Amino acid sequence: MAFVAFPLDSDAQQKKAAPAAVPMELEQPASARPWSRYSGWPVTDWKDYNTLANIASPVYAPPPKLDGPITGDPKNGEKLAYDRGRGGSCVACHIMGKTTPALPGNIGPDLSTVGTWGRTDQWLFDYVYDPRKVNPNSMMPPWGTHKLFNVQEIHDIVAFLKTLKEPHTFKDELENPATRPVPVETRDNLDPFVNDGMAAVERARLIYSRVGARGKSCASCHAAPEKSFKTWAATMPRYEARLKKVIGVEEFITRHARSTTRDNLLMQSMDNIDLSIYLRHLANGTPIKVDTTSKDAAAAIKRGNALMTRKIGQLNFACMDCHSLGANKWVRGQWLTGTKGQIAHFPTFRTSRSEIWDLRKRFQWCNVAIRANELPPDAVEYGDIELALAALNQGEKVNAPGIRH
Which residue ranges form the domains of the chain, and what is each CATH number? Answer: 74-161 (1.10.760.10), 188-282 (1.10.760.10), 295-404 (1.10.760.10)
| Cis peptide leading into residue 347 (ω within 30°) | yes
Characterise 251 by phi-psi region: left (phi > 0), alpha (psi -120 to 50), beta (else). alpha
pLDDT (tens digit per residue) in 52-97: 999 999 999 999 999 999 999 999 999 999 999 888 899 999 999 9
pTM across the whole model: 0.93
Residue 287: beta bridge partners? 397
Average pLDDT over residues 365-384: 98
Average pLDDT over residues 216-225: 95
φ, ψ of residue 350 to 5 degrees: the values are -95, 105
Residue 190 is which amino acid?
L
DSSP one-letter string for 128-158: HH-GGGT-TT--S--TTTTTSS-HHHHHHHH
Residue 16 pLDDT > 90: no
pLDDT (tens digit per residue) in 327-362: 999 999 899 999 998 899 999 999 988 999 999 999
pLDDT (tens digit per residue) in 161-174: 999 999 999 999 99
Pairwise CA distance, residues 158 & 91, whole Å: 15
